[in-house]
Structure 1
Amino acid sequence: MRKAMIASALLIAGIAGLTGCGNEKKSASVPALDPTNMDLSVKPGTDFYQFANGGWMKNNPLQAQYSRYGIFDRLGDTSLDQIRTIVNEAASMDQTQGGIPQKITTLYQLGMDSVTLNAQGAEPIREELARIAAIKNDKELAAMIATLHREGIFPYFVTFVDADEKNSTMNIPALYQSGLGMGDRDYYLSEESKEIKDAYKEYIRTLFTLVGYSAEQADEAVKAVLKIEDKIADASYSREVLRDSHKNYNKMTGTEWVNSNGLLDWNIYFDTFGVPVAENIVVKQTGFFNDLAKAMKDVTLDEQKLYLEYNLISAAAPYLSDDFVNANFDFFGRAMSGREELQPRWKRALNTTDGALSEALGQLYVEKYFPASSKEKMLEMVGNLQTALSERIEALPWMSDETKARAQEKLAAFRVKIGYPDTWRDYSALDIKDDSYWANVRRSNIFEMDYMLSQVGKPVDKDKWLMSPQTVNAYYNPTTNEICFPAAILQPPFFNPDADDAVNYGAIGVVIGHEMTHGFDDQGRNYDKDGNLNDWWTAEDAARFKERTDILVEQFNAVEVAPGVYANGSYTLGENIADQGGLLVSRMAYENSLEGKERPEPIDGYTDAQRFYISYATVWAQNIRPEEILRLTKIDPHSLGKNRVNVTLRNIDDFYTAFDITEGDAMYLAPEKRVNVW
Structure 2
Amino acid sequence: MVLSLTIRILAILSLLINRIIGTDLVRPCAGYGNPCDPDYSQPCCYYNTTCIANKASNGYFMCIPEGMRKCDTPNCIANNLEFGRDILKHMDPKVSPCDNFYQFACGNYVRSPATFRGVRFSSHFQKLSNSRSNQLDAAITEILSSSTQFKPYKITRTLYNSCQDLKINNQNRSGHDSLNTLESIVSALGDWPVLVRNWQSDFNWIEFIIKAKNQGFFKLSFLFADILQNDVDGNLQIQVSPPKLEHSGVLKLTKRYSELLEAYTSFMTQVAQELGAEEIRSRQDLLESLAFELKLTEAVTKESPILTTLSGLESRWPGIMWMDLFNQLFPDFIIDWATPVQVMNPKYVTKLEREISQTPKRVQANYAVWKVIQESIHYTKSSSLSKLRRAYWHQVFPNYALPSINCVEVIKHFLPFSIYSVFIRKHGDIHDKSEAIEFVNKIADKLGQVLEAVDWFDEITRKEAGDKVKFMTKIAGYINLLGDDVLEEFYNSLEISEDFLKNYQNLNLFIMRNRIRIVKKPFYLQDLLDVFTYYHIPLLTSYSARYLPKKNIMEISPSVLQGIFFNIDRPNYINYGRAGTMIGHEMGHAFDTQNRCLDKNGFNNNWWTDTTNNTYLEKVKCFIEKYNLAAEKLGIKINASRSIDENLADSIGVRVAYSLYQDYVKQNGPDPVLPELALYSNNQLFWLSYASKWCSLPQVSNGNDKYLLSNLRVVGTVANIPEFSKDFKCPVGSNMNPVDKCKLF
Scaled by the length of structure 1, what TM-score is found?
Answer: 0.69
CA distance in 2 between partners of 1:623 and 1:381 (Å): 31
Q: Per-residue displacement from partner, 1:407-464 (whole Å, max 9, x unpaired)?
A: 223322222222115463411112222112x543443232122101123342223422
Question: Of 721, 724, 737, which aligns to 1:652?
Answer: 721
Question: Of 303, 322, 331, which aligns to 1:235?
Answer: 303
CA distance in 1 between partners of 2:498 and 2:243 (Å): 31
1:676 shift after superposition: 1.7
Please tell me whether residue 293 in structure 1 is matched to residue 360 in structure 2.
no
CA distance in 1 between partners of 2:330 and 2:570 (Å): 52
1:593 shift after superposition: 1.4
Match of 2:518 in 1: 455
1:385 shift after superposition: 0.9
Indicate the RMSD between aligned Cα atoms, in angstroms. Answer: 5.6
CA distance in 2 between partners of 1:75 and 1:198 (Å): 48
The 3-state SS of whatever aligns with 1:362 is: helix
Gap change, CA 1:470 and 1:349, over 3 Å in 2:
farther
Question: Of 319, 332, 335, which aligns to 1:278?
Answer: 335
The 3-state SS of whatever aligns with 2:83 is: coil
Alignment check: 8 A CA contact 2:242 2:345 kept: no
Alignment check: 8 A CA contact 1:521 1:577 kept: yes
Gap change, CA 1:515 and 1:314, over 3 Å in 2:
farther
Match of 2:213 in 1: 147
Gap change, CA 1:106 and 1:382, over 3 Å in 2:
same
Please tell me whether residue 416 in structure 1 is matched to residue 486 in structure 2.
no
1:485 shift after superposition: 1.7
CA distance in 2 between partners of 1:95 and 1:205 (Å): 51
Q: Structure 1, unaligned stretches of length 5 or more? A: 1-24, 190-196, 238-247, 336-340
CA distance in 2 between partners of 1:311 and 1:623 (Å): 48
Gap change, CA 1:255 and 1:458, over 3 Å in 2:
farther
Gap change, CA 1:126 and 1:544, over 3 Å in 2:
same
Alignment check: 8 A CA contact 1:514 1:578 kept: yes
CA distance in 1 between partners of 2:520 and 2:653 (Å): 36
Please tell me whether residue 587 in structure 1 is matched to residue 658 in structure 2.
yes
CA distance in 1 between partners of 2:431 and 2:371 (Å): 49
The 3-state SS of whatever aligns with 1:175 is: strand
Amino acid at match of 1:399: F
Match of 1:675 in 2: 742
Alignment check: 8 A CA contact 2:102 2:711 kept: yes
CA distance in 2 between partners of 1:441 and 1:95 (Å): 23
1:149 shift after superposition: 11
Gap change, CA 1:670 and 1:366, over 3 Å in 2:
same
The 3-state SS of whatever aligns with 1:526 is: coil
- The equivalences for 1:540-619 within 5 A come to 540-554=611-625, 566-567=638-639, 569=641, 572-600=643-671, 603=674, 604-605=676-677, 606-619=680-693
CA distance in 2 between partners of 1:77 and 1:222 (Å): 46
Question: Of 572, 580, 584, which aligns to 1:513?
Answer: 584
Please tell me whether residue 433 in structure 1 is matched to residue 507 in structure 2.
no
Match of 1:483 in 2: 554
The 3-state SS of whatever aligns with 1:391 is: helix
Gap change, CA 1:304 and 1:514, over 3 Å in 2:
farther
CA distance in 2 between partners of 1:462 and 1:213 (Å): 48
1:400 shift after superposition: 2.0
Gap change, CA 1:564 and 1:418, over 3 Å in 2:
closer
The 3-state SS of whatever aligns with 2:666 is: coil
Amino acid at match of 2:519: V
Match of 2:418 in 1: 360
Amino acid at match of 1:167: D
CA distance in 2 between partners of 1:565 and 1:200 (Å): 37
CA distance in 1 between partners of 2:377 and 2:731 (Å): 56
CA distance in 2 between partners of 1:565 and 1:255 (Å): 51
The 3-state SS of whatever aligns with 1:594 is: helix
Amino acid at match of 2:154: Q
CA distance in 2 between partners of 1:42 and 1:309 (Å): 66
1:361 shift after superposition: 2.7
- The equivalences for 1:83-102 within 5 A come to 83-94=136-147, 96=149, 99-102=151-154
CA distance in 1 between partners of 2:369 and 2:110 (Å): 43
The 3-state SS of whatever aligns with 1:525 is: coil
The 3-state SS of whatever aligns with 1:429 is: coil
CA distance in 1 between partners of 2:111 and 2:241 (Å): 41
Gap change, CA 1:484 and 1:281, over 3 Å in 2:
farther
Q: Per-residue displacement from partner, 1:132-188 (whole Å, max 9, x unpaired)?
A: 9769977259717973996575889875555443434xx6344276878999x9x99
CA distance in 2 between partners of 1:546 and 1:407 (Å): 16
The 3-state SS of whatever aligns with 1:417 is: strand
The 3-state SS of whatever aligns with 1:234 is: coil
Amino acid at match of 2:541: T
Please tell me whether residue 446 in structure 1 is matched to residue 509 in structure 2.
yes
Alignment check: 8 A CA contact 1:400 1:541 kept: yes
Please tell me whether residue 401 in structure 1 is matched to residue 447 in structure 2.
no
- The equivalences for 1:166-205 within 5 A come to 166-168=232-234, 172-175=236-239
Please tell me whether residue 118 in structure 1 is matched to residue 174 in structure 2.
no
CA distance in 2 between partners of 1:83 and 1:394 (Å): 41
- The equivalences for 1:308-323 within 5 A come to none
CA distance in 1 between partners of 2:663 and 2:743 (Å): 20
Gap change, CA 1:94 and 1:505, over 3 Å in 2:
same
The 3-state SS of whatever aligns with 1:101 is: helix
CA distance in 1 between partners of 2:374 and 2:570 (Å): 49
The 3-state SS of whatever aligns with 2:476 is: strand
Amino acid at match of 1:103: I
CA distance in 2 between partners of 1:56 and 1:342 (Å): 40
Gap change, CA 1:444 and 1:405, over 3 Å in 2:
same
The 3-state SS of whatever aligns with 1:483 is: strand
Gap change, CA 1:47 and 1:554, over 3 Å in 2:
same
Gap change, CA 1:108 and 1:388, over 3 Å in 2:
same
Question: Of 351, 364, 386, which aligns to 2:444?
Answer: 386
Gap change, CA 1:60 and 1:102, over 3 Å in 2:
farther
Match of 2:160 in 1: 108
CA distance in 2 between partners of 1:204 and 1:568 (Å): 43
Gap change, CA 1:442 and 1:256, over 3 Å in 2:
same
Q: Which has the higher contact order (CA 8 A, sep 6+)?
A: 1
Match of 1:9 in 2: none
Alignment check: 8 A CA contact 1:36 1:56 kept: no
Residues 452-461 or 474-483, more deviating: 474-483
Alignment check: 8 A CA contact 1:53 1:618 kept: yes
Alignment check: 8 A CA contact 2:447 2:656 kept: yes
Alignment check: 8 A CA contact 2:574 2:686 kept: yes
Gap change, CA 1:229 and 1:388, over 3 Å in 2:
farther
Gap change, CA 1:298 and 1:112, over 3 Å in 2:
same
Residues 158-167 or 482-491, more deviating: 158-167
Gap change, CA 1:619 and 1:289, over 3 Å in 2:
farther
The 3-state SS of whatever aligns with 1:373 is: coil
Alignment check: 8 A CA contact 1:143 1:268 kept: no
Alignment check: 8 A CA contact 1:52 1:618 kept: yes
Alignment check: 8 A CA contact 1:155 1:179 kept: yes
Alignment check: 8 A CA contact 1:510 1:616 kept: yes
Amino acid at match of 2:467: E
Amino acid at match of 1:548: K
The 3-state SS of whatever aligns with 1:524 is: coil
The 3-state SS of whatever aligns with 1:569 is: helix
1:290 shift after superposition: 2.4
Gap change, CA 1:373 and 1:669, over 3 Å in 2:
same
Amino acid at match of 1:464: L
CA distance in 2 between partners of 1:149 and 1:177 (Å): 20
CA distance in 2 between partners of 1:647 and 1:167 (Å): 38
